[in-house]
Each structure stands twice: as structure tokens, then as C-alpha cells.
């Protein structure tokens, strides 16, 4: 029993480390859309999805929370937790619901697009609330365009990772 828990913990640690590495690498990249500052691909979210697919909800939330917390610390921007955590939690909740009820009809790429869209919209809403500036909401269409592109890129990445990993690893 301990070896299973130890293996699982080690595997989740590797997944979390990979998410953090991708988060940091992506922080050095230019915006996804030049005309939409701050937009990113969300490469770290690939590993949150993988934790969900391989291990389940609880483990995906653990990876997400650690990624957000340590990402904020490593980037030196603790304030980013106000944006990344609510957006990450809501998009992960959406992924869980979509995987449970309609995964077989829409697939990983479509789920990734929906989650990326929701993630960006929640971040914009949080920015508007925190800055008490509703005009920030006008940025939603640009962030949504970036979310669609990011969702396709991360969804394709997840699709190919899942395709080439042994199917016995997955719970969905």
C-alpha cells in the first residue's frame, strides 16, 4: 500500500514540477496574441489536465493549487493568485463536468477550448472586480480569441500525450 502511495506522490510531484517549469518558461514568451497583452497559451494547464485524466479530481486540484501558489512565488507576483486561482478552479470544475458527462461526444480538444475560454473570462472578471473598473470587461472578446487558440494548442498537446501513453493509466 505504501509503495502505491509513494509512486502516486512521486508521479504527482513530477507532474506538478513539469507544470511549474512550463509556467516559468511561458512567462518569458511574448503574448499569444500581440494585440492582446497578457494572453498566454497556458502550457502548465496541460499537466493539470493530465493529473485529472490519470488520477482524478482531487489530484488535479492539488496540482492546480500547488502550481498556482508556487508559480506566484517563483514569479515574484503573489497578487497573481487573485486571478490564477479562481480562473484555474472554475476551469478545472468545468473540465470535470465535461469529462464526466459529454467527453465521448466532444473530446479533449473541445473541452480544452471551453476551459481556456472560461479561464480567460474569469481572469478578466476578477481584474474588473479587483480594480473596480468595469471597463476591463471590454477586453473579454480579445481574451476569448486568445482562449480559443490556447485551448486548441493545449488540447492538441493533451490529445497526443494521451494517445501515446498507455491507456491503463487513465480513469476516463
The residue range of the domain holding 35 is 2-169
What pLDDT does residue 6 have? 86
What pLDDT does residue 125 have? 96
What pLDDT does residue 75 have? 87
Average pLDDT for the chain: 90
Average of per-residue pLDDT across 69-82: 91
Q: Say yes or no to pLDDT of 154 above 90.
A: yes
CB neighbours of residue 130 within 10 Å: 12
d(CA 149, CA 140): 14
User: Is the model more confident about 33 or about 11?
Assistant: 11
Quote the number of domains for the chain: 1
What pLDDT does residue 148 have? 95
CATH of the domain at 137: 1.10.1760.20
Q: Are 18 and 129 in contact (CB under 8 A)?
A: no
Q: What whole-number percentage of the chain has pLDDT above 70?
A: 94
DSSP string, 90-149: HHHHHHHHHHHHHHHHHHHHHHHHHHHHHHHHHHHHHHHHHHT-GGGGGGHHHHHHHHHH
Q: Say yes or no to pLDDT of 48 above 70.
A: yes
- Dihedral angle, C-alpha 35, 41, 42, 43, nearest 10 °: -150
Q: Say yes or no to pLDDT of 30 above 90.
A: no
Amino acid at each position: 500500500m505504501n509503495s502505491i502511495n509513494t509512486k502516486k506522490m512521486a508521479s504527482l510531484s513530477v507532474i506538478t514540477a513539469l507544470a511549474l517549469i512550463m509556467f516559468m518558461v511561458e512567462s518569458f514568451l511574448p503574448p499569444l496574441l500581440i494585440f492582446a497583452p497578457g494572453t498566454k497559451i497556458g502550457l502548465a494547464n496541460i499537466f493539470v489536465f493530465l493529473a485529472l485524466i490519470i488520477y482524478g479530481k482531487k489530484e488535479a486540484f492539488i496540482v492546480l493549487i500547488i502550481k498556482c501558489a508556487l508559480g506566484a512565488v517563483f514569479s515574484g507576483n503573489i497578487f497573481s493568485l487573485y486571478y490564477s486561482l479562481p480562473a484555474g478552479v472554475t476551469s478545472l470544475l468545468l473540465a470535470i463536468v465535461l469529462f464526466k458527462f459529454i467527453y465521448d461526444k466532444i473530446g479533449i480538444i473541445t473541452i480544452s477550448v471551453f476551459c481556456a475560454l472560461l479561464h480567460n473570462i474569469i481572469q478578466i472578471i476578477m481584474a474588473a472586480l479587483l480594480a473596480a473598473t468595469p471597463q476591463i470587461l471590454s477586453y473579454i472578446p480579445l481574451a476569448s480569441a486568445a482562449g480559443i487558440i490556447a485551448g486548441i494548442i493545449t488540447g492538441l498537446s493533451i490529445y497526443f500525450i494521451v494517445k501515446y501513453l498507455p491507456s491503463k493509466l487513465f480513469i476516463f
